Structure 1
């Protein structure tokens, strides 16, 4: 009976995955046009422009929109592997392939003893909620590497460390996966891999770390938590501007630097909480590694100066890994992330013009999406603390055992 139920669940899961991914491919290949701004322009214009520079053996040193670690060059150059297709088509095929790899990883993990297919369902349902943006950014590739690292973590810490370092050299945030890593071999493997890749890129390609300076002068992106201050302030005479700046639509003007500094301070407080948790944590269960990574990435995404739609791909992926474990209690935060993903596709690209205009619809969508992320962060952090730090009450001693102990004592 259980085998029959599992087969039926697998059939539904793979069927829904196939149908939703076909729909995403139809959108990115423009068989059907998704409403709102063209999300594929990042691939056909920005990524392809970087590709032309990178293939000459140097990083795009004069382009301030290049804000990624050096291994990101591999993702941008990867469409060359599918040489029979034009650049955008090859990129979409590779993004789809990364999605397929993730599903296979989650199925393999979910069918093992002590695991569950809940994680696979989170990924299958969560990705299409974000719309075609998922296949038009390289974040799905980074997320695939990060998820593989977490799934390898319990049994293969060296593999986890190497994959985490590689992911961090693609887009920084996977370094947070190490927050709950206890084995020195994971940290050593990560350090050696990161050091080796950094040295290789620094020697082979000029400008490998120019991205560090390009991040410094960014404003507050219009979808971020801090941006809500200016969306509201515009209705009371704030005279700043909304401009395309450093590759994203940002607020520029009075007090933007104050809000940006506050966002950095919030990220600092999040780091302090994670450090305190790591020092206080006493119980590390099979799912703690994934739960802690989910909490860490939630914290830094929510407090960031930028919350681009593709960031939700990271959260959906990490939530899926958490729910592969039967013992994980991250179900509610994961559900909130799925809800936030649906609201995200409404605010971008569907009604992004309303967000840029700071009108009632745009502000409402942002309050809802960012509110869901804040609530998910607080609940996930509370659950992580409760499951690893809070002392549990000792089990009550049966009355018979107490009486037996008392009669055995000398009078």
Structure 2
């Protein structure tokens, strides 16, 4: 009688333990602090070296614009955002001044000094995120951060957004036990580059049920910081004989953003780029703010529409998060998904679409990977794909986008569709599912 048992190949039996042993070894190596730190630094070194002479000048803003602004502050007392109107919030000038100090004291190139600063900031954020390089799971997760920086390219280090990212990652890591400090860091980040306000809004709405003490700890530092900046701006403008214009300058970045045209990398510009290729519109360089904009008959309408849509989406997502935590859904899972949804909204519903915006996604993806809600890995995959395509667009082959080449328009179309998909996925995860989650854990759970 012939046996019906399936035949087993001896090579398969031997291969399985070998694969298991290999995965175990890789996992252990990945959790070693020294290996992670060296790899993280090597990634930053590679991006620094490759970006210095790469086509598209990914460090161009640092070399020329940041250096000039900081020099004006030191030489002429021009504190942009207080004494003069500015496109950025007032505290953005502080990290721009730090490399100038290093440059003046050591003679190091300003751009090189900037790269040293952002590298150190990222390493500090990495250390806080991994609990002093003692949390093995978070260290394994942090490898994705290093890989994503490679995928996104040098622009991940060459903009003020990197500073804001480090502040947000540190704030998320401290939120549970040091909410006041986390709130202050998020407030400082917001006064550096606005988008951390999305994470702060997610924290407030998602953790509403934690009580008034938590809410006060999150909100009060930002209120105090904003009030302090307003007082400083008012005093500075009064002393200089300009009345209270300093307060207007403090909020000038809001009006500055409102007056901008539709940038070619923006998600809302996707259809317009294809139409411009057919002759309906053109890519025009704005010398005042150093960006390439899409000028067409429909561009102003699109710019207004996406701005209004951003406001609607932010309110809707905040309401969804607040509702879910009220009915007993795990607040930390709500916080993680709401953070991703709001940060992605700031990218998708934005008439500005600079390539460095994609670095914002690191913070909510790290949060998701730490909290580990169901399907947490999907945004990590989507974000990685977005990073690769963004580097293809800028700086690698940016000239093809300026020339509206068909293949590049397909690349940016796919990238923008992935961003929309990421937003839809995050919002979908905020749907009520009819079941109560477990009690809250640490925001960056072990």
Q: State the TM-score, normalizing by the size of structure 2.
A: 0.79
Where 2:250 maps in the other structure, the secondary structure is coil
Separation in 2, partners of 1:73, 1:122:
30
2:112 alignment partner in structure 1: 89
Matched, 1:122 2:144: yes
Matched, 1:266 2:309: yes
Matched, 1:305 2:351: yes
2:211 alignment partner in structure 1: none
Separation in 2, partners of 1:81, 1:162:
25
Separation in 1, partners of 2:353, 2:258:
17
Matched, 1:355 2:387: no
- Given that 1:149 and 1:159 are in contact with CA atoms closer than 8 Å, whether structure 2 keeps it comes out as yes
- Shift, 1:381, TM fit: 1.6
2:435 alignment partner in structure 1: 392
- Cα distance, 1:242–1:18 mapped onto 2, change above 3 Å: same
Where 2:286 maps in the other structure, the secondary structure is strand
1:87-138, Cα deviation, whole Å (9 max, x unpaired): 222111111112212222232278549x644531221111121111122212
1:295 alignment partner in structure 2: 341
2:420 alignment partner in structure 1: 374
> Superposed, which structure 2 residues align to 1:131-170 within 5 Å?
131-170=153-192
- Cα distance, 1:18–1:44 mapped onto 2, change above 3 Å: closer
Count of aligned pairs: 386
Where 2:435 maps in the other structure, the secondary structure is coil
1:323-361, Cα deviation, whole Å (9 max, x unpaired): 122346431012101110110000001111111111112
Greater displacement, 163-172 / 54-63: 54-63
Q: Which stretches in structure 1 are left out of the alignment for 5+ residues?
A: 395-411
2:294 alignment partner in structure 1: 251
Separation in 2, partners of 1:316, 1:339:
13
- Cα distance, 1:237–1:27 mapped onto 2, change above 3 Å: closer
Q: Which stretches in structure 2 are left out of the alignment for 5+ residues?
A: 1-20, 209-213, 238-245, 438-446
- Cα distance, 1:88–1:393 mapped onto 2, change above 3 Å: closer
- Shift, 1:287, TM fit: 4.2
Separation in 2, partners of 1:63, 1:232:
42
Separation in 2, partners of 1:10, 1:240:
50
1:276 alignment partner in structure 2: 319
The correspondence for 1:59, drawn from 68, 79, 85, is 79
- Cα distance, 1:249–1:241 mapped onto 2, change above 3 Å: closer
Separation in 1, partners of 2:85, 2:383:
28
Where 2:331 maps in the other structure, the secondary structure is coil
Greater displacement, 103-112 / 346-355: 103-112
- Shift, 1:150, TM fit: 1.5
- Given that 1:123 and 1:317 are in contact with CA atoms closer than 8 Å, whether structure 2 keeps it comes out as no
2:100 alignment partner in structure 1: 80
Separation in 2, partners of 1:198, 1:174:
20
2:69 alignment partner in structure 1: 50
- Given that 1:168 and 1:174 are in contact with CA atoms closer than 8 Å, whether structure 2 keeps it comes out as yes
- Cα distance, 1:171–1:201 mapped onto 2, change above 3 Å: farther
- Cα distance, 1:294–1:393 mapped onto 2, change above 3 Å: closer
Greater displacement, 373-382 / 198-207: 198-207
2:13 alignment partner in structure 1: none
Separation in 2, partners of 1:227, 1:145:
30
> Superposed, which structure 2 residues align to 1:170-319 within 5 Å?
170-178=192-200, 179-181=202-204, 182=208, 183-185=214-216, 186-204=218-236, 206=246, 207-244=249-286, 246-282=289-325, 283-319=329-365
- Cα distance, 1:278–1:289 mapped onto 2, change above 3 Å: closer
Q: Cα RMSD (Å) of the superposition?
A: 2.8
1:9 alignment partner in structure 2: 30
Greater displacement, 208-217 / 362-371: 208-217
- Given that 1:118 and 1:323 are in contact with CA atoms closer than 8 Å, whether structure 2 keeps it comes out as no
- Cα distance, 1:293–1:62 mapped onto 2, change above 3 Å: closer
1:23 alignment partner in structure 2: 46
Where 1:220 maps in the other structure, the secondary structure is coil
- Cα distance, 1:287–1:218 mapped onto 2, change above 3 Å: same
